[in-house]
Structure 1
Amino acid sequence: MTSHHTALYDPANLIRAHVPLDRARYESLVAAVLAWPDEPALHERDYVQIALQFTGHARAVAADVRQHAARLPKGSGRRALAEVVLGEADRRLTPPLQGTMSCARSRARMVRALYERLGRLTDRAR
């Protein structure tokens, strides 16, 4: 049986190294992808590369969300909401990448949702 998962190349283990994320750059990319017209003329490989960027970044943001949520009491509403977003991230980031606008937009929305939750956990959004 062949695996359909894409491995993220991270030899320095930066995803878990608490390296500050380039949030502004990814928020700009999210906004650009979500503002695309219905049929931007991109090649399949371009969609795959964009989705791959979002996937790797979403996993890094999810790790931050998970870390902040773990510090909250188990009965906390903020922790429960974070766990819902993290579960959704796991579900949406697991399927194999597709070279489609839909896949790229789905991953962009996941990055946006994770940053929104991270902002609420760190009081940035209040």
Structure 2
Amino acid sequence: MSDTYVVLHDPDGLIEAELPLDRAPYEALVTVVLAWKEPDLVPRDYEQIALQLAGHARAVAANVQCLAAALPKSDGRGALAEVVLREADSRLSAPLKGTARCVQNRARLIQALYERLDRLTETLP
């Protein structure tokens, strides 16, 4: 075992932006969460699911931000992305609650972010 380590300094998030999103498991989780009718979980379980979804939402938002920033100012997709990103920032800054509603709100946010991401990538070469 080595006694040395390397500290990663990436203040602009460039390395994270280059990593592909692990989309399928989160889309499956979103589908399940949004299908809940009367879930019976303890608050800590809701909090853990909300944390997972919030972390993934931040990663998707970072990708949306990178793609939107690369668009010309005259491209309306960038303006729409900014609206979604502001909403994401607002929702993600709200404190987590141990409720199904909180988890479902995070799931809806991921849906909105992926929809915007898909719109930004559909016409790119």
- What residue identity is the alignment partner of 1:23? R
- Are 1:55 and 2:51 matched, yes or no? no
Normalized per residue, the structure richer in helix is 2
1:16 & 1:50 partners in 2: Cα distance? 25
Q: Deviations over 1:61-91 (max 9, x none)?
A: 0000000000111122100100000000000
- What residue identity is the alignment partner of 1:108? A
Q: Does the 8 Å CA contact 1:85/1:114 hold for their aligned counterparts?
A: yes
Matches within 5 A, 1:40-119: 40-119=39-118
Deviation at 1:16, TM superposition (A): 5.0
Higher Rg: 2
Deviation at 1:19, TM superposition (A): 1.5
| Identity within the alignment, % | 61
2:111 & 2:15 partners in 1: Cα distance? 20
CA RMSD after TM alignment? 1.9
1:53 & 1:31 partners in 2: Cα distance? 14
Q: Which runs of 5+ in 1 are unaligned?
A: 1-10
Match of 1:36 in 2: 36
SS of structure 2 residue aligned to 1:28: helix
1:98 & 1:50 partners in 2: Cα distance? 11
Match of 1:27 in 2: 27
How has the CA–CA distance of structure 1 residues 16 and 57 changed in structure 2, closer, same or farther, with 3 Å as cutoff?
Answer: farther
Deviation at 1:50, TM superposition (A): 0.6
How has the CA–CA distance of structure 1 residues 28 and 15 changed in structure 2, closer, same or farther, with 3 Å as cutoff?
Answer: farther
TM-score, normalised with respect to structure 2: 0.84
Match of 1:7 in 2: none
Q: Does the 8 Å CA contact 1:15/1:59 hold for their aligned counterparts?
A: no
Match of 1:122 in 2: 121
- What residue identity is the alignment partner of 1:76? D
Matches within 5 A, 1:8-19: 16-17=15-16, 18-19=18-19
